[in-house]
Amino acid sequence: MQLYKTRGFSEFFQDTFAFLKSNGKHFFKNYLIINGFFLIIMMVMMYFFTKFYTSVIFGGLMGNNPTLVDDYMNDNLGLFIVLLIVFVVVALVAAVISFSFVPLYLKLFAERDGQHFGTSELVSAYKSNIGNIFIFLICGFILGIPLAIMMGIGMFILVITIVGMLLVPVLIGAFSLFYNMTLMEYIEKKRGIWDSFGYAWTLMTSKFWPAVGSVGLFFLMSYIIQSVFSMIPYIFGMASLFTTIESGTPNPEDVGYTMTIMMLAVFFLSFFAGAILGVVVQLNQGIIFYSLKEDNENINTKSIIDQIGSGE
């Protein structure tokens, strides 16, 4: 599939799904190999957090012991702080690796003209771009402070009206697309970080509504699908819980066990679905990036002309 190609709103959708159809196996295989370890670590940590939540907090309520949570926190404050720090560090590392995957994958895909690379090449790409990714994070955080304030004000204005709420995914899509295109341009190593931010803005505004509208709809679809996945175990869990309550005086241990299973199922399904859907949304943004870059620089067109000239 040709990444450098002029596209419109409908092609942003069609080519995203076409890419997944022809390259999805290679794409997700490498994603899970690189990110799988961190996803498992996050799930394990959330498992213990869920057990704490259900056994301590819920157990305290059912056992009529309102001070149980405070007593537990006072007795295990040091352990709680350590686990919290570990969780935050692992979450940040996992987020950075996951966020960088699509830009690096598509960069190799464009350079190798398809799937002519594997996990080792992706790992090498991470190593060679670790400095750029780190600089991007620092500068992105600095720029993100005023942008987040502006975005928060914009979302507040939109959510107070019914019609405006429909534009919230578009606003989120614009913010996400801007950052993704900046990183994709920066790892090309042809511009500085601030020039990359400026160039990403130029690209995004060149076809603002088709590009941002496409990303916004992908975010909306992702949210709906993830919500459906989350509701399935929740419905079964609540049905089991009500059945237990209706059968007589509920045993706190049985109720806690049901709540634990329900919350774990909800979390694991929503977490995994969110990770997969998130990378699909990023893929759509990558398709948009290469399309807008072709519109602005005629990279593929120049390459075809060069090939014709070399063959004469």
Query: In terms of residue numbers, what domain contains 215?
Result: 9-306
Flag whether 4 is in a domain: no
Q: How far is CA 3 from its chain centroid?
A: 21
Give the pLDDT confidence score for residue 161 in this predicted structure: 76
10-25 as b/e: b if 16+ CB within 10 A? ebbbebbeebeeebee
pLDDT at 270: 77
137's CB contacts (< 8 A; 6+ apart) are 96
Q: Are 97 and 126 in contact (CB under 8 A)?
A: yes
- Angle in degrees, CA 104, 109, 111, rounded to 5: 95
How many domains are there within the chain?
Answer: 1
> Is residue 230 situated within a structural domain?
yes
**pTM for this model (two decimals):** 0.84
pLDDT in tens, the chain (312 residues): 889 999 999 999 999 999 999 999 999 999 999 988 888 887 777 777 766 665 655 555 445 555 555 666 666 667 777 877 888 888 888 889 999 999 999 999 999 988 889 999 999 999 999 999 999 999 999 999 999 898 888 888 887 877 677 788 888 889 999 999 999 999 988 899 999 999 999 999 999 999 999 999 999 888 888 888 777 766 766 666 666 555 555 555 555 566 667 667 777 777 788 889 999 999 999 999 999 999 998 877 666 655 555 555
Query: pLDDT at position 214, please?
Result: 92
Q: Is residue 136 part of a domain?
A: yes
Residue 146 domain flag: yes
The answer to whether residue 311 sits within a structural domain is no
Pair 159, 165: CB distance under 8 Å: yes
Distance CA 228, CA 50 (A): 21
Question: Is residue 312 included in any domain, yes or no?
Answer: no
Residue 223 lies in a domain: yes
Residue 213 lies in a domain: yes
